[in-house]
Chains A and B, each alone.
Chain A
Amino acid sequence: MTRYVLKRLLLLPVLLFLFSVTVFAIVQAPPGDFLTTYVATLASSGSSISAEQVEALRREYGLDQPVWIQYVRWMENLAKGNLGLSLEYQRPNAELIGERLVLTVVLALFSFVFTWIVAVPAGIYSAMHPRSALDYALTVLNYVGVATPNFMLALVLMWSAFAYFGVSVTGLFSPDFVEAPWNLARVVDLLKHLWLPAVVLGVAGTARLTRVMRANLLDELHKPYVTTARAKGLPEWRLVLRYPARLALNPLVSTIGWYLPALFSGSLIVATVMNLPNIGPLLLRALVNQDMYLAGSILLIYCFLTIVGTLISDILLAWLDPRIRLEEG
């Protein structure tokens, strides 16, 4: 088990290197660079910039260098822990990404907890009482949950909150706290605002997870080891939770790692609609404006979190399932 984790940790830098090359290639892929986009933006707003100025800027940013030199420079800076400068904002990328990343991860965590707390018990109940009234009701809710675009749900909830309660539920902070430094009051304010986007972002996943949990458990419920446990005289709830539910969870645990990346890209529209200061809108803008070091940094962090997430779910799975743990040696 320890060897297995160590092996995976040693692989991490290799993977990160491969990802960094890919990320850089993708960010560089669109024709032109930041300055061509910049010139076009200026032109569309009626102002202009001289060709000499553009050339000067290009030299300053190193955009005149071959691609591989640009990559090496980026890597050099990354190795020093420097994420570089945003070409558009003219501010350090670390500063731009920092708080948004934290908020994104916190949001993902809450949405994840909401999903599991609701979906796993609902799936277990449905599987234990198939074709019951509540099972049918949950099934209908699940279809509605999967089929409703989450930004639409966000709009409906925001409108309802405003129309009936007179509260605005956009953003993650009250106006007083948006620029405030971190302290307890700000955390409390964040928690007050966080639950709604967490629920909005979690609804579709909850619906899907409920269905999967129900199906997995239904498969497990008729296995002989359940009969054995029942023949022992265990109370029904205890035996279901201890044996088949435990096995039905294993395939779900292996998908935990995908949760964060899915939320990274999936939350973009909701974040725009609800005015959430998370990382999705920042990444979109960086990509559109070819703010390559900002986009590259975000994508690389994103890859890193995906790898770590997968590692965590693999470790969890090994911990839960001795068949995996003992065979990996």
Chain B
Amino acid sequence: MTAPVLEVKDLRVHFFLDEGVVRAVDGVSFDVGPGQVVGIVGESGCGKSVTVRAILQIVEPPGRIVGGRILFTKDGAAAADLTALDAKGPVMRAIRGAEIALIPQEPMAAFSPVHTVGAQVIEALRLHQRQWRPEGAPLSRREARALTIELFRSVGISMPAERIDAYSWQLSGGLRQRAMIAMALSCKPRLLIADEPTTAIDVTTQAQVLNLLRDLQRRDGTAIVFITHDLGVIAQMAHHVVVMYLGRVMEQGAVADIFDAPKHPYTRALLKSIPSVRAAPRTLLPTIAGSIPHPLGRPRGCPFHPRCPDAIPGICANRVPALRPVGPGQHASCFLYHRDEADEP
């Protein structure tokens, strides 16, 4: 097996608020192989967005990475631990946007309303021009503009030469997200981070954007970390799934294994709550009992135990289960499978 592009090991990101410390990400580990699409799924507040912000080193104060390592491997180079880099320093900035790019959640708010979309893409291109021109003359404004028009065409924006001078609020939701994808791809990243890229757009456009992302991924072999709370999107896009709850990984594995043979009670509950066309009419949609605890009131032990139908009395409430193999390539952190494998609380 080839070396992974990204290895996240025991990542911890805490937010230091006046009211107390919120452990938004509390010991998350997963790998992303070259050209692999990893879907991170979980309810809001499970720490999935914070996890990818930590990868880009753009966690905003009062949040801080307090532990763990993020190993990123460039072509033919040794893996570098991103957490050891100065988040605002030149080395990290050369990676951010160029090697690891972000497709943000809301394309409307994610573009500046007072700059044309083209200007914002051209800026990224010229900032990381070494990705295009490892040697020789810098990328001129005119060349960057021509490249941007080409990029717009490649993501399916019609009339790219006109759209390049439009403001984001003059474009439709789908076009905006396409422009955003063009910007993220502009510097030929090895790793693309898509933070709920289809949440803010309507369903038909959603399908188009997902198809586009999948086609581009196949064409360029870019690795993608795909965040969503929509299991349907995961099934369509991902090779590998990471299920998160309250800042911890509950289960991870190949997409087929997670959907066909979910091991963790949380994964099972999530899958059960997907509406099905085959369900008997007028039946209630199964939901997960209870609600997500307040960020400052995390349960002791396994974070899911108060809502878990299979919780083992005396064990799940006291110790935190470690992520251990439950099958080939499949891991779960649950005492149902590994009674004695606990993590440090």
Binding site for B on A (CB under 8 A): 222-225, 227-236, 242-243, 246-247, 250, 320-323, 326
Contact = CB atoms under 8 A, between A and B. Distances in A.
Contact of A230 (B58, B112, B115, B120): B58
B101 A231 contact: yes
A234 B58 CA distance: 12
Given A225-B110, A323-B167, A233 B97 contact: yes
A232 B114 contact: no
A4 to B, nearest CB: 18
Interface of B: 53, 56, 58, 60, 88, 92-98, 101-102, 104-106, 109-115, 120, 123-124, 127-128, 167, 169-170, 180, 183
Contact of A231 (B88, B97, B109, B114): B97
B93 A233 contact: yes
Contacts of B183: 228, 232
Nearest to B168: A225
A288 to B, nearest CB: 48
A223 B112 CA distance: 9
B94 A228 contact: no
Given A224-B110, A228-B104, A243-B112, A233 B60 contact: no
Contacts, number: 78
Given A227-B58, A236-B88, A326 B96 contact: no
A229 B93 contact: no
Given A223-B109, A225-B112, A243-B112, A233 B96 contact: yes
A158 B109 CA distance: 51
A232 B112 contact: no
Given A227-B58, A322-B167, A233 B127 contact: yes
Q: With a 10 A CB-CB cut-off, give which of A222, A229, A250, A323 has the most chain B CB atoms.
A: A229
Nearest to B119: A242
Given A233-B97, A247-B114, A228 B102 contact: yes
B104 A227 contact: yes
Nearest to B186: A232
B167 A326 contact: yes
CB-based closest 5 A-B pairs: A233-B97, A231-B102, A232-B97, A233-B96, A224-B109
